Amino acid sequence: MPERAGGTSGFRGTEFAVEAVIKVLGSSTIGFVLLIFVFLLREGVPVFLEVSPVNLVSTRWYPTFDLFGVGPLVLGSALVTATAIVIAVPLGVCTAVFVREVAPSWAREVLKPLIEVLAGIPSVVLGFFGMTVLAPIVRETLGAPTGLTAFTGALILAYMSLPTIVTVAEDALDAVPKSYRDAGLAMGATEWQTIWRVVVPAARSGIVTAVMLGMGRAIGETMAVMMVTGNAARMPLTLDSLFRPIRTMTATIAAEMGEVANGSVHYHALFGIGIVLFVVTFIINLTAASAIFSKRRRGGLR
Amino acid sequence: MNRFAIQRIGFAVLALAALVVVSPIVLVIATIVVRGISAINWEFLTAIPREGMKAGGIFPAIVGTVILTLGTALVAIPVGVGGAVYLAEYARDTAFTRAIRLAIVNLAGIPSIVYGLFGLGLFVLFLQLGTSIVAGSLTLAIMTLPVVISTAEEALRAVPTEFRTVSASVGGTQWQGIWHVVLPQAMPGIITGIILGLLRAAGETAPILFTVAAFYLPRIPRSAFDQTMALPYHLYVISTQVPGMPEQIQYGTALVLLAVTLSMNGVATAIRSVFRRRREW
């Protein structure tokens, strides 16, 4: 191999170094996910040794008396999230269909930025609005002693997951080829029939992804939920539970971590809840991602 | 009923759904602006809180949020843009690349409070940084990464292949092509992504709860290892932890926080739309 001029080998050296650095930066995300999981395990796993399994799955969360039953917290999160999704999915999918398929361009120009604005409103601001404006309305409508209920939390959560659901569902509709729509219309179907019998079914997997991502968003939401759900750690087993105060997993961590001694059983228990949240959102995102990855990417130098 | 009548009713229902989605957004913003605007004056923005936060201003919280956002940017921009360059320009479609993408999707989905736990476990306790601006910024930066990487990668991929081919044809190395040609072309999209990521960091409360946020610290932080007040946490504190708080101060604080995030959102949108109009490819 002929000897290279100094300048060229300098180039090659730079090129090599830069590529190495870029590769490290590119892989850093894997490292961060692992690091997060390792530290959750490190601080959370001791709780499974310190507290009996029977206690952990019991129905009472009362750390002062060494009762660490996550039942009410898990069910609280489940109730609020499920209700939020029931509210948000029809609204979100209909809005996505409206924006992509029906709306005149001026309406689209108004709707899309507004939905983006909603995504940018800090959760603590929505929680504050929920406390001061929404909760009194809920209280008076229900005639309940308090407006800080699971339902109030679900309403706020529904709106917090809407930007995700609308945007992802709209992308899914956007990916349906125009020829599908043309074929539907050419068969004599109305636009309405084409939308629901051709376009939406074709975008199904993307819409499912949208719902999954919205659900992940709702389960993990902390501040707004903590501010409007009343934070009572009781099992939501009766029919009226939706309209009574409740406590979620996220709110429990946020409310109690500031007051526990590092390394105490209670501290480990809160990290244990963190492990549960991590695993649940991991599974949800994995499911959602499998749909994303099956979609072909375009553009770029390959 | 004929099918065109059904269609008209159907479209009306869809329009109604969209209205139900967006009108509360307008209501939230309008309520906070109307009730908060009277609290906003020079003293509120530049004075320290007095009388148990029931009087005076919110200056330390504003400064704290600015510092935390800059600290986040310091870490998230190089790591995020570097990661995006790797994915868009270098990575082949291997199992390793798919693992990176999976990691990004999962980072984006991890609840913000879990980031808070992680920051407490790693930065505050294990690395002994204490509850400090460094610990809080690092936590927020990792949370911000997926947004920055995804949008920056999209911006890089949108630059047509010809730009790279031409750079290579005049003898540029791959990195020279990226640095002098591709990155400048993708810059508006990258900046939009960075702002969107930082906007999220500026508004977050849960990740800073145990890593940096001070309940009440009526001064400017002295070093990167100091605690600080921050706007989102301050709003949480004065609306839930302090009894008898004047509503005006609560709404005023909410308005300042909302103004910060919405103006960042506006800047990002403006950059994007101006760029789309000017772009020649």
Residue B85 distance to chain A (closest CA, Å): 7
> pTM of the entire structure?
0.92
Sign of CA dihedral B267, B261, A215, A38: positive
pLDDT of residue B217: 87
Residues of B in contact with A98 (CB under 8 A): 11, 14-15, 17-18
A42:B203 CB<8 A: no
Q: In which band, very low, low, confident or very high, does the pLDDT at A144 lie, cut at 50, 70 and 90?
A: confident
More reliable by pLDDT, B194 or A301: B194
Using a pLDDT cut of 90, give the percent of chain A over it: 70
First to last CA, chain B: 50
Q: Can you read off the two tokens belonging to residue A131?
A: 């406390």
pLDDT of residue B275: 83
Q: DSSP label at A5?
A: P
Q: In which band, very low, low, confident or very high, does the pLDDT at A258 lie, cut at 50, 70 and 90?
A: confident
User: What is the 3-state composition of chain B as percent helix, strand, coil, each rounded to the nearest 5?
Assistant: 75, 0, 20
Own/partner pairs, B122-128, CB within 8 angstroms, 24+ separation: B122/A35, B122/A39, B123/B211, B124/B210, B124/B211, B125/A262, B126/A39
B29:A117 CB<8 A: yes
Among residues A199, A197, A193, A190, which one has the least CA distance to residue A172?
A: A199
- Contact (CB, 8 A) for A229 and A148: yes
Neighbours of B172 (CB within 10 A): 17
What's the fold here for domain A71-294? MetI-like fold (1.10.3720)
- Contact (CB, 8 A) for B57 and B49: yes
Question: Which residues face A61 on adjacent strands?
Answer: A68
Chain B (41-100) residues lying within 8 Å, Cβ to Cβ, of chain A: 78-79, 82-83, 85-91, 93, 96, 98-100
A90:B89 CB<8 A: no
Query: pLDDT tens digit string along B69-110?
Result: 999 999 999 999 999 999 999 998 899 999 999 999 999 999
- Contact (CB, 8 A) for A95 and B18: yes
Ramachandran sector of residue B190 (left: φ over 0; alpha: ψ -120 to 50; beta: rest): alpha
A9 to chain B, any CB pair closer than 8 A? The answer is no
Query: pLDDT tens digit string along B4-43?
Result: 899 999 999 999 999 999 999 999 999 999 999 999 999 8
Looking at every residue in chain B, the average pLDDT score rounds to: 92
Residue A210 distance to chain B (closest CA, Å): 13
Among residues B4, B17, B11, B29, which one has the least CA distance to residue B255?
A: B29
B216 to chain A, any CB pair closer than 8 A? The answer is no
Tokens 């320009």 identify what position?
B89
Residues of B in contact with A278 (CB under 8 A): 110-111, 114
Domains of chain B, first to last: 39-44+55-278 (1.10.3720.10)
- Contact (CB, 8 A) for A30 and B142: no
Question: Which residues face B55 on adjacent strands?
Answer: B50
- For residue A4, pLDDT beyond 70: no
**Alpha carbons A123 and A220: distance in angstroms, whole number:** 12
Question: Which residues face A230 on adjacent strands?
Answer: A246
Enclosing H/E stretch for A19: helix A6-44
Of B83, B90, B235, the CB nearest to A29: B83
pLDDT of residue B279: 75
B111:A220 CB<8 A: yes
B156:A128 CB<8 A: no
- For residue A92, pLDDT beyond 90: yes
**Alpha carbons A109 and A107: distance in angstroms, whole number:** 5
- Cβ within 8 Å of residue A123, ≥6 positions away: A160, A221, A222, A223, A224, B112, B203, B204, B205, B206
Of B88, B109, B117, the CB nearest to A274: B117
Residue A59 distance to chain B (closest CA, Å): 23
